Amino acid sequence: MAAYRIAPSILAADFGHMALAVRDAEAAGADAIHVDVMDGHFVPEISFGRRMTEMLRAVTNLPLDVHLMVSNPERHFEPFAQAGATTITIHAEVALAAALPGLLHAIRVAGAEPGLALKPATSPAILDGLLTQLAQVLVMTVEPGYSGQPFVPDVLPKLRALRQTAPPGLTLAVDGGIDATTIRRCADAGATFFVAGSAVYSPHRTVAAGIEALRLALG
């Protein structure tokens, strides 16, 4: 059986109680905390930065999965690694393909594990020759930049194709619209790491109930 991991997205939590949101997720058995960093340029919205990451690191020992939805991500590798990021994922669309190997190397030099994220319309062919340099591929199952969007089912063939070519040890992650209905479809397509926002942080259920529902759906 695949080792499935669930990473609550802190972007969906109550910003007035972030430390509590992380502690609740850890107590409920979350495997990591996903940190969406948005700059208002690569995506329209602005979220939070390295200081928030430092605070999260201070209240949990869980891996911090930092997703840089930013232009010029190389400016941020060292600050986020020093703040406690375990994994730093950048978007394949932020640079020419020839520049991506150097960016991934720079993430490792900074002290974090490198990941590449793909927008729904981005072909997995952009990863040719890069998979062995990656700790993680993050397939966006919504357009990056906004929480609460509906799941895009057209990404499932991309997941299947990546699973067929992924080397051992590469994490195949999904982010966007992941809930108790869509998580199983992604797992069947080859994903093993699931970023979930409103399915975990919701006024209608506890964090523990949200994570339990996801795990039950995975079977």
pLDDT tens figures, 18-39: 999 999 999 999 999 999 999 9
d(CA 125, CA 30): 32
Residue 9, sorted as left (phi over 0), alpha (psi -120 to 50) or beta, turns out to be beta
Catalytic pick among 24, 31, 36, 179: 36
pLDDT of residue 1: 41
pLDDT confidence of residue 104: 98
pTM of the full structure:
0.95
The mean pLDDT value for 129-134 works out to 95
The first and second tokens of residue 74, run together, are 């190389």
Better pLDDT: 98 or 6: 6
Task: Please report the sign of the dihedral spanned by the C-alpha atoms of residue 139, residue 102, residue 34, residue 193.
Answer: positive
Return the DSSP state at 78. Answer: H
Q: Could you report the per-residue pLDDT of 152-209, keeping only the tens digit for each?
A: 999 999 999 999 999 999 999 999 999 999 999 999 999 999 999 999 999 999 999 9
Q: Which of 24, 31, 175, 179 is catalytic?
A: 175
Buried/exposed 11-27: b ≥16 CB within 10 Å, e otherwise: bbbeeeebeebbebbbe
For the ranges 43-47, 144-148, 201-205, 211-215, the lowest mean pLDDT is seen at 144-148
| Confidence check: pLDDT of 217 > 50 | yes
CB 49 within 8 A of CB 24: no
Q: What pLDDT score does 149 carry?
A: 77
Q: Strand, helix or coil at 111?
A: coil
36 has catalytic annotation: yes
Angstrom CA distances, 140 to 65, 124, 150, 179, 204, stand at 14, 12, 12, 14, 25
Q: Would residue 179 show up in a list of annotated catalytic residues for this protein? A: no
Place domain 5-218 in its CATH homologous superfamily. Aldolase class I (3.20.20.70)
